[in-house]
Structure 1
Amino acid sequence: MAEVLTTVARRLRQPIPGAQPRLRFEMPPEHEQDSITPESETSARFGNPGPRMSSQHPLYVGFMGTVGVGVALLVYWIGSNTTQLLLWIVAALFIALGLDPVVRWLEGKKFPRAAGILVSVATLAVAVAGFFATLIPTIVQQVTQIVQQAPRWIQDFIDSDFFRSLDSQFGVRDRISQELEKFVNNPEAMGGIFGGVVGFGTTVANGLFGTLIVLVLSLYFLAALPAMKKWGYRLAPRSRRARVEALSEEITASVGNYVIGQAVVALVNATFAFIVMTIVGVPFAVLLAFVVALLAFIPLVGGLIAGVIVTLIALTAGWQTAVVYAVCYFAYLQFEAYFISPRVMQKAVAVPGAVAVISVIAGGSLLGVLGALIAIPTAAAIMLLVKEIFIVRQDNH
């Protein structure tokens, strides 16, 4: 029995005819481990590896192109869903660049930068709060007057001969009564009124929240502006860092000077308009002066729009009042264009008239009032870059 088992075991240990031995991965002896590298072991067993995939291989180009398109779509989706936030950031950065010259001037007067930032932002916040404090009571007063006088206006219109003739011919009174009854009994119409009221309240709340966010971001940008500039300059190559810093400083200084200059021009414009409105008797002079100041920030067309609006409102006090105000204000606009603006804006980068008009129209079409405000400094920055980089490069060829 033992001899039979021994014979079977010997036959099982013998390889099957035609079979290949299985490849075993065993660790080499310790004295050989240092001399064997993964590349040499792979080459010894499986041959030399092939060349790396070329960056122009169709598979590589297709994959990287797909990744690039995906990243672009992701950036577009993020930008389209954060448009309001981006506008707030741009507005805050624009305000910070405008207040930075004031802060640096206060630093020159031995003020700490923190104190200069606090004074600048507090002044801006007081101006905004003053505008809303003047605007809201005036609107409430006007709406109250309209509500109180509306029944009398309606009754006078009903008692007029014109309405009586229309009612006798077309039955206007019965038609109006039927439509009012349908409107009151229609739940969708009443829901639309309620939705409109809620939408108006939401708009006001979003406006106040956006104003608060812009002020807070302006404060942070003002505090971190020097550090932001330093980190931004370090992104440029060391050989070009000095030139990038010089161009950036000139652009930011130009934007700051433009904002300060435009604020001064708007203040002078609103002051003159308020004095004229007070003298000739235009109603709501204080509120209209704030409106003129806001519109005067829009270059080129802001003063013209403000003049037209105030002239139309002045017609309620009589055509003589409107004519006197229009003559005085539009004469001032000519004086401002030829004498005040050139002297106030002399430190800002000059922009040709045609470029300024095109920039304002394009900025207003893209971003509304904010786009119109930042259009001219943006155009000035682009012109400076073209002059100092592209034209210099072309002259050297």
Structure 2
Amino acid sequence: MDETMPVRNPVQFGFLVTVGVGLALLVYYLAANVGALGGWITGAMFIALGLDPIVRWFESRGLPRIGGVAIVLLGFAGIVVLMATVVIPSIARQALGFINGFPQTFDDFLSSNFMGELDDQFGIRDKVENEAGKFFDTAFSDSSLIGNFLNNLINAGSAVAQVITGTLIVMFLALYFVTSLPTIKAWGIRLAPRSRRRRVAELTEKITQSVGNYVMGQAVVALLNATFALIVMSLVGVNFPLLCAFVVLLLAFVPLVGGVVAGILVTFIALLNGWQSAAVYAICYFAYLQIEAYFISPRIMSKAVAVPGSVAVIAVAGGGALWGVLGAIIAIPVAASAMLLIREVFIPRQDRR
């Protein structure tokens, strides 16, 4: 129909507009209420892409893909079992010990020579004790505060249950995705026009390999980071080193800022043992971060698409604002994929004009 022709059936036109608006609202409702599911699927896909380079390595050695997938699945299952039976119970015991022993540890910290010197100059201990007394007096006299605390405990238990459920779902989805990744990519390529499927297949392969290399490389960097932190914490005598190393491992997955935040957090924990332990740990760990940034990460990430520093900072900030920690983790590979599409598709098209 010519665009200049008037609408001959306004009822039909209004109905189509109403249906379109209704579908848009339905899509918005689904996106707003299945955010957790979207996060689970995204996390599982990134884990699958991170395991895919290992499968491809076995394939390059002459092993069929099904054999490489089986070896990866067995190794992944072994790591999960090790975490569930050994690592997580140890971390839980240390976390419980940290919570139970924190009052005494904090009191010892206030009685240390370091705090004594600060107290002589600024009177810090009296201020801390007065504020703590006011807090406990308010906590036990205000019934609404106690009720809010109990509600927070219930919400925390619900959040823990959601985390456990989400972790199990992500693991099973990741195992399924890594097994059927070629089939998923083939179906996605068939959605493109027939004349462009070959080009779409090439770009899809480049993007998936780049994202997979990034995820695997980031996992190796985070593991090295946590291992070094654990060794330094054990040498300087930081309390609950396994628990702190686990926190460092999780934060190290967040690009750019995760390692710095982990270093500051563990330094404050080491400060409870004395300023000497905190200073030694901070010097060693932040020196390692420089070595990691200039020597370790460039070599491990050499096969992933390079992202300029300014783009990486903007991507991490935007991803964290939109989707929290998961958004910050996936921001750089998403930005790398976008840059690859710009370089491979948009710029050549502009050059031909």
TM-score bucket (shorter structure): 0.7 to 0.9
C-alpha contact (below 8 Å) 1:117/1:222 kept by paired residues: no
Query: Which region of structure 1 is more displaced relative to structure 2, 369-378 or 325-334?
Result: 325-334
Shift of residue 216 of structure 1? Answer: 1.0
Structure 2 SS opposite 1:308: helix
| TM-score normalised by length of structure 2 | 0.83
C-alpha contact (below 8 Å) 1:103/1:120 kept by paired residues: no
User: Which residue in 2 is equivalent to 1:159?
Assistant: none
- CA separation of 1:300 and 1:182: change in aligned 2, threshold 3 A: closer
User: Which residue in 2 is equivalent to 1:323?
Assistant: 279
User: Which residue in 2 is equivalent to 1:87?
Assistant: 39
Structure 1 SS opposite 2:36: helix
Pairs aligned (count): 327
User: Which residue in 2 is equivalent to 1:156?
Assistant: none
Q: C-alpha separation between the residues in 1 aligned to 2:136 and 2:54?
A: 62
- CA separation of 1:93 and 1:56: change in aligned 2, threshold 3 A: farther
- CA separation of 1:379 and 1:141: change in aligned 2, threshold 3 A: same
Taking only aligned residues, the RMSD between alpha carbons, in angstroms, comes to 3.0
C-alpha contact (below 8 Å) 2:140/2:146 kept by paired residues: no
Shift of residue 147 of structure 1? Answer: 6.8
Structure 1 SS opposite 2:238: coil
| TM-score normalised by length of structure 1 | 0.75
Aligned residue identity for 2:255? P
Q: Which structure 2 residues correspond to residues 327-366 of structure 1 after superposition, within 5 A?
A: 327-366=283-322
Structure 1 SS opposite 2:272: helix
- CA separation of 1:127 and 1:190: change in aligned 2, threshold 3 A: same
Q: C-alpha separation between the residues in 1 aligned to 2:225 and 2:313?
A: 20
Does the alignment pair 1:102 with 2:54? yes
Structure 2 SS opposite 1:283: coil
C-alpha contact (below 8 Å) 2:105/2:272 kept by paired residues: no
Shift of residue 70 of structure 1? Answer: 1.0
Structure 2 SS opposite 1:317: coil
**Looking at CA atoms only, which structure, 1 or 2, has the larger radius of gyration?**
1
Q: C-alpha separation between the residues in 2 aligned to 1:359 and 1:128?
A: 31
Cα offsets for 1:44-93 (capped at 9, x unmatched): xxxxxxxxxx7955725433222211111011111111111111111111
User: Which residue in 1 is equivalent to 2:27?
Assistant: 75
User: Which residue in 2 is equivalent to 1:122?
Assistant: 77
Shift of residue 177 of structure 1? Answer: 10
Q: C-alpha separation between the residues in 2 aligned to 1:366 and 1:76?
A: 15
Q: C-alpha separation between the residues in 2 aligned to 1:394 and 1:345?
A: 30
User: Which residue in 2 is equivalent to 1:385?
Assistant: 341
Q: C-alpha separation between the residues in 2 aligned to 1:197 and 1:176?
A: 18
Q: C-alpha separation between the residues in 1 aligned to 2:190 and 2:306?
A: 29
C-alpha contact (below 8 Å) 1:307/1:326 kept by paired residues: yes
C-alpha contact (below 8 Å) 2:253/2:329 kept by paired residues: yes
Aligned residue identity for 2:283? V
Q: Which structure 2 residues correspond to residues 137-176 of structure 1 after superposition, within 5 A?
A: 137-146=93-102
- CA separation of 1:131 and 1:206: change in aligned 2, threshold 3 A: farther
Query: Which region of structure 1 is more displaced relative to structure 2, 114-123 or 367-376?
Result: 114-123
Specify every segment of 5 or more residues in structure 1 that has no aligned partner in the other structure, as ranges: 1-53, 154-161
C-alpha contact (below 8 Å) 2:95/2:243 kept by paired residues: no
Shift of residue 113 of structure 1? Answer: 4.4
C-alpha contact (below 8 Å) 2:210/2:303 kept by paired residues: yes
Does the alignment pair 1:295 with 2:247? no
Does the alignment pair 1:208 with 2:136? no
C-alpha contact (below 8 Å) 1:298/1:369 kept by paired residues: yes
- CA separation of 1:152 and 1:382: change in aligned 2, threshold 3 A: closer
Q: C-alpha separation between the residues in 1 aligned to 2:174 and 2:197?
A: 27
Shift of residue 146 of structure 1? Answer: 4.1
Aligned residue identity for 1:267? L
User: Which residue in 2 is equivalent to 1:264?
Assistant: 220
Q: C-alpha separation between the residues in 1 aligned to 2:187 and 2:135?
A: 68
Cα offsets for 1:119-171 (capped at 9, x unmatched): 24314524653553232111111223247789999xxxxxxxx9xx99xxx9x
> What is the percent sequence identity of the aligned residues?
52
Cα offsets for 1:22-48 (capped at 9, x unmatched): xxxxxxxxxxxxxxxxxxxxxxxxxxx
User: Which residue in 1 is equivalent to 2:242?
Assistant: 286
- Match among 152, 160, 163 for residue 196 of structure 1: 152
- CA separation of 1:124 and 1:178: change in aligned 2, threshold 3 A: closer
Query: Which region of structure 1 is more displaced relative to structure 2, 55-64 or 286-295?
Result: 55-64
Shift of residue 182 of structure 1? Answer: 4.5
Q: C-alpha separation between the residues in 2 aligned to 1:248 and 1:62?
A: 40
- Match among 228, 238, 241 for residue 184 of structure 2: 228
Shift of residue 221 of structure 1? Answer: 1.1
Query: Which region of structure 1 is more displaced relative to structure 2, 326-335 or 377-386?
Result: 326-335
Does the alignment pair 1:313 with 2:265? no
Shift of residue 196 of structure 1? Answer: 2.9
C-alpha contact (below 8 Å) 1:266/1:293 kept by paired residues: yes
Aligned residue identity for 2:184? M
Query: Which region of structure 1 is more displaced relative to structure 2, 342-351 or 218-227?
Result: 218-227
Q: C-alpha separation between the residues in 2 aligned to 1:298 and 1:176?
A: 34
Query: Which region of structure 1 is more displaced relative to structure 2, 233-242 or 127-136?
Result: 127-136
Aligned residue identity for 1:95? I
C-alpha contact (below 8 Å) 1:125/1:215 kept by paired residues: no
Aligned residue identity for 2:40? W
Shift of residue 314 of structure 1? Answer: 1.1
- CA separation of 1:192 and 1:115: change in aligned 2, threshold 3 A: same
Specify every segment of 5 or more residues in structure 2 that has no aligned partner in the other structure, as ranges: 110-122
C-alpha contact (below 8 Å) 1:117/1:223 kept by paired residues: no
